Structure 1
Amino acid sequence: MARGRGAPVDKNLRQHHVTSPRPSFWTVRSHRTHLRAGVPLAALTVASFALASCGTPGGAVADDAPATASSAAPAPKLAPEVSVRDGASNVAVDVPVKVESRGEGLAKVSMVNEEGREVDAELSGDSRSWSTTEVLGYNRTYTLVAKDKNGQQRSVTFTTPTPAYTTGVALSPLPDSEVGIGQTIGFRFQSPVTDRKAVQDAITITTSPQVDGAFYWLNDYEVRWRPQYYWEPGTQVSVEANIYGLDMGGGLYGAQDNATNFTIGDRVIAVVDDSAKTMSVYRNKELLRVIPVSLGRDGSEFVTPNGRYIIGDKHEKLLMDSSSFGLGMDQGGYKTMVDYATQMSYSGIYVHAAPWSEWAQGSTNTSHGCINVTTEAAAWFQSVVKRGDIVHVQNTQGGTLPVWDGLGDWNLSWEEWSAGNA
């Protein structure tokens, strides 16, 4: 739907909310009672006494007492009530503007921006209320004119915020995807966020069955959400990031809302044990296969870190370039095309085919950190795992894959993770 600024919104990144105070609707009536003047009270009393004491000819009693009556003046006609005051600034763009009749019903309501484009709105069936049905635009001046059937009219002019910057938000995983039990929910902004709490409050995560979780900010650009424990297979998850109109601090506002949804698939976990030089792959706790592996070279900077890795992208073919992590060709680096590369970290650790190291697989570590397997095993592994599945690496000489690597979210304890929110 077009926004009040007169231009369509890009829904690919639809980037809780700020509300403006609104007056309550009220009705005022004034009453006046008029006493019609007649004979003064003292004279009336005397006359009444005399008439009671002395009859008139024929015995008739004189009935000339003055008549009295009271009547109420008509209530004043009131102009419609508007939820935004005249002259208001920084009016929230995501809160509907409302008009209420204080008389017989609304005859006509019109709201336009400074270019004359009329904002989409809806009048109630009884004509007593009116409300905008589209979000407003930033840096706009709107004029609203509301006329009641009683002839009274109200005009209001107001402005919306002028952001210094706006940002969208990218979400992961993709909509309608099936992912593994270790999948975390990612929110990445195009500009740094200063009001982290406002952003968290604008995000709604709904799960079926209910699952408790928490946010963790990797940096000012990216926040993740994960449950305390691995997801249960079959869990349905929907995510809404309602950030359009949101003040994120420092002059940064949300440009578009965004949403995603996903389902948790089978429980797939691979355990890589350096002490045995094997990778055991389980589905729903059933052992599917044990594969000989070769890991990062012992005693070198390339030793494979321990920890729980989350499966990311899968590539049937991928160029492995050591310069991506600072190892040049003159330092023993490489540029090698590999088959069936399955991502385990942002820093470049993959399970992939390495036919040149088949002699070492199951006995010796020879890689630059990746998990080397045969071509057949690499193809099989890629066909079994999915995004969000877990690879647990243990008993290496390395440290632990850090959370900031991007796919190491499960390497923080729940106490550390839940302390990383706003």
Structure 2
Amino acid sequence: MRHVLKRAGLGIAAAVACAGLMAGLAGCTSDGGLDIGMGGKGRSPEDTIRVTPEDGAEGVEPDSRVEVRVPSGRLERVRVVKVEDAQPVEVPGTVSEDGLRWRPARGARLALAAKYSVDAVALDGHGRRSARHTTFTTAVPEHRFIGYFKPENRSTVGTGMIVSFSFNRPIENRAAVERAIRVTSRPPVEVAGHWFGKERLDFRPRAYWKPGTEVTVDLRLRDVEGAPGVYGIQHKKVGFTVGRSQVSLVDAEEHTMEVRRDGRLVTTVPITAGAPKTTTYNGKMVVTELFDVTRMNGATVGFKDKDGKGEYDIKDVPHAMRLTDSGTFLHGNYWAPASAFGTANVSHGCVGLRDVKGGSADSPAGWFFDRTLIGDVVEVVKSADRKVSPDNGLGGWNMDWARWKAGSALR
């Protein structure tokens, strides 16, 4: 009972009263209410302070009515709190002008799979207090959704980084989900979302981020209904820092790659791009993964022999930097003749830099790899192929700003 009184805000005096040391006390009730004269002797706390949902209610829906009221007198204070969580969260609300009713603030919504406590104190016409403590639990949904996102929290990325969410379930209520994800930056710039189908949502500014920008991603997806009966589970804040600018231009005709750091040409590297029958995509692509060494099997991206096996299967490709989801990499190449780099296009669509078996930091591939961040931009021009699709990797920079913003569910 002492715990209940403390939560209701009655303090030591009320606790002493409950012990029977103060005259005029009607009694401590079994449900956690303290009735001090509101309406007369013998009146139950349920009659004195009426709480909806009822005490001990289970499976309460998040949009159910929450209300505390008294038949007479006035409510002095009401506190509704989500408890048994890492951080208690109070439900905002106000008492009506006549003092008889408390309701949540407009737009306030209960969380799913949560326990709430209600602590209320009321005064009767003679200034005598009555307190009540109740609890209820909300419904646990059968289905949840989660958004897997890039980049990683606390990472340092290139200026071309796009914040990308892929959802584990199709999102029907795209506006509600997009509204629940806030991407902000210091210094501030306009950031807009763009949906690619029902399971992917990307965010970017109009132009590449400025070096040194700090970006915050505030996810408030918990209890957001993304589709009928499917609710979000995440409530967290993550962030990343934009490092120096590095944009590299691959010229498939000239067989070169110009590497620019903060707008200044650092070096020009000889490359080999896609062969005539397996050309490299044109357009702006963003590095999304870095591998010291990886295996590349043509069968996984559609390059198969008549027997169904991959046209190539290289188990130790060094210094591999992924550019698209469909399998375009910029990587070290030790199997092509050294004479191919800078003179011919011989790959299956990737951009190759000269390297040695096992990889070398002193090779062109090793040099570039060691100076590359997730989020750096590689743009390919003058290839006999189409422009990369905006949803193939982080290809959203190939859309102009008007078209990008048109893909927002909040337009």
TM-score surpassing 0.5? yes
Pairwise CA distance, 1:226: 0.5
Q: 1:139 to 1:210 in 2, by over 3 A?
A: closer
CA distance in 2, matches of 1:112, 1:396: 58
CA distance in 2, matches of 1:247, 1:370: 41
**1:269-288 residue pairs with structure 2 within 5 A?**
269-288=247-266
Q: For residues 42-94 of structure 1, what are the alpha-carbon distances to aligned partners after superposition, in whole Å with 9 as ceiling and x for unaligned?
A: xxxxxxxxxxxxxxxxxxxxxxxxxxxxxxxx996894576x5558942359x
Q: 1:258 to 1:222 in 2, by over 3 A?
A: farther
Pairwise CA distance, 1:152: 3.9
Which secondary structure does the structure 2 equivalent of 1:418 belong to? helix
Pairwise CA distance, 1:259: 2.8
Q: 2:370 aligns with which of 363, 373, 383?
A: 383
Contact 1:297 1:366 in 2 (8 A): yes
Which secondary structure does the structure 1 equivalent of 2:335 belong to? helix
Could you tell me the percent identity over the aligned residues?
28
Pairwise CA distance, 1:109: 8.4
Which secondary structure does the structure 1 equivalent of 2:152 belong to? coil
Pairwise CA distance, 1:364: 1.0
Contact 1:111 1:144 in 2 (8 A): yes
Gaps of 5+ in 2: 1-36, 41-46, 91-98, 356-362
Q: For residues 310-369 of structure 1, what are the alpha-carbon distances to aligned partners after superposition, in whole Å with 9 as ceiling and x for unaligned?
A: 011111111011111122343661110211111111111111111222221111111000
Could you tell me which residue of structure 1 aligns to residue 178 of structure 2? 200
Q: 1:370 aligns with which of 329, 350, 354?
A: 350
Q: 1:296 to 1:166 in 2, by over 3 A?
A: same
CA distance in 2, matches of 1:136, 1:400: 47
Could you tell me which residue of structure 2 aligns to residue 91 of structure 1? 62
- Higher percent of residues as strand: 2
Q: TM-score normalized by structure 1?
A: 0.69
Q: TM-score normalized by structure 2?
A: 0.71
Could you tell me which residue of structure 2 aligns to residue 70 of structure 1? none
Q: 1:121 to 1:233 in 2, by over 3 A?
A: closer
Read off the aligned partner of 1:138 and give its amino acid letter.
L
Could you tell me which residue of structure 2 aligns to residue 68 of structure 1? none
Which secondary structure does the structure 2 equivalent of 1:356 belong to? coil
Q: 1:355 aligns with which of 330, 334, 353?
A: 334
Contact 1:202 1:243 in 2 (8 A): yes
Contact 1:169 1:258 in 2 (8 A): no
Matched, 1:312 2:288: yes
Pairwise CA distance, 1:415: 1.7
Could you tell me which residue of structure 2 aligns to residue 409 of structure 1? 396
Higher Cα Rg: structure 1 or 2? 1
CA distance in 1, matches of 2:183, 2:228: 26
Could you tell me which residue of structure 2 aligns to residue 294 of structure 1? 272
Contact 2:257 2:269 in 1 (8 A): yes
Which secondary structure does the structure 2 equivalent of 1:223 belong to? strand
Pairwise CA distance, 1:194: 0.5
Gaps of 5+ in 1: 1-73, 123-127
CA distance in 2, matches of 1:406, 1:212: 22
Q: 1:229 to 1:142 in 2, by over 3 A?
A: closer
Pairwise CA distance, 1:146: 4.5
Pairwise CA distance, 1:219: 2.1
Q: Over aligned residues, Cα RMSD in angstroms?
A: 3.8
Could you tell me which residue of structure 1 aligns to residue 385 of structure 2? 398
Q: For residues 286-311 of structure 1, what are the alpha-carbon distances to aligned partners after superposition, in whole Å with 9 as ceiling and x for unaligned?
A: 1111111111111x1x2001000001
CA distance in 2, matches of 1:249, 1:392: 37
Read off the aligned partner of 1:267 and give its amino acid letter.
S
CA distance in 1, matches of 2:188, 2:155: 19
Which secondary structure does the structure 1 equivalent of 2:178 belong to? helix
**1:10-159 residue pairs with structure 2 within 5 A?**
79-80=48-49, 86=54, 89-91=60-62, 138=112, 144=118, 146=120, 148=122, 150=128, 152=130
CA distance in 2, matches of 1:377, 1:404: 29
Which secondary structure does the structure 2 equivalent of 1:324 belong to? helix
Contact 1:171 1:258 in 2 (8 A): no
CA distance in 2, matches of 1:354, 1:104: 76
Q: For residues 251-309 of structure 1, what are the alpha-carbon distances to aligned partners after superposition, in whole Å with 9 as ceiling and x for unaligned?
A: 111122233201111110100011211001010111111111111111x1x20010000
Aligned length: 333
Contact 1:141 1:158 in 2 (8 A): yes
Range that drifts further, 314-323 or 156-165: 156-165
Pairwise CA distance, 1:171: 2.2
Which secondary structure does the structure 2 equivalent of 1:415 belong to? helix
Could you tell me which residue of structure 2 aligns to residue 211 of structure 1? 189
Contact 2:61 2:112 in 1 (8 A): no
Contact 2:211 2:244 in 1 (8 A): yes
